[in-house]
Amino acid sequence: MAMTKTTKRARPARPDPAGQTRTRAFRVGFLVGAGSGLTVATLIAALAFAVTDPVPAAPPPTGAGPSPVASAPAGVPAVHVAARHLGDLRVRVEAQVSTRTYDPIGRASVAMYADMVAMPMAHRTGPITMTEVPGKTGWYAAEVAVPMVGEYDIQVTVRRPIPGEAHARVEVGTERG
């Protein structure tokens, strides 16, 4: 009696409408890959939500300082900007730089830019280095001469020790505002 070897016959792949053939293994692999990828992304998002420290909504310290522009998330300094028109085309900018617990940051590298709102980047001035106000740790000031009358966006950028930025708007007219 002779034994013959039998082989399993493979089912031919069905053509899809575009004339290309896709095997069942491809479809199963695609679905398993997409499902596991979405599951991993959901788990990472849930873990990030669980371990992220929310920013406390503490008010800035009381005083005659500028009002805050935005709250500071973890690892970013709180930068509070005040800008006022001095007359002619001169603007004085003051900034208070502190940690998120409102400890002042001294000897920081702070610069400012003035950009006309109506014509962005056409009349941009800066970077202008802001100097620390003597006797007031964490307070920086600078003056800028803008090229023409109009509303300006003042951007204060902290480069080091902790990078961050804040914006304020000021209206520059022909007379003192």
Look at residue 71 in the predicted model and tell me its pLDDT: 44
- CA 121 – CA 25 distance, rounded (Å): 55
Look at residue 66 in the predicted model and tell me its pLDDT: 47
- Composition of the chain by helix, strand, coil, percent to 5: 15, 35, 45
Which of 93, 91, 111 minimizes the C-alpha distance to 171?
91
Residues of the chain with pLDDT under 70: 1-7, 12-23, 53-75, 174-177
* C-alpha torsion sign, points 45, 46, 51, 56: positive
Which of 77, 58, 76 minimizes the C-alpha distance to 140?
77
- The 10s digit of each residue's pLDDT in 9-61 is 777 666 655 555 556 777 888 889 999 999 999 999 888 888 876 655 455 55
Look at residue 14 in the predicted model and tell me its pLDDT: 63
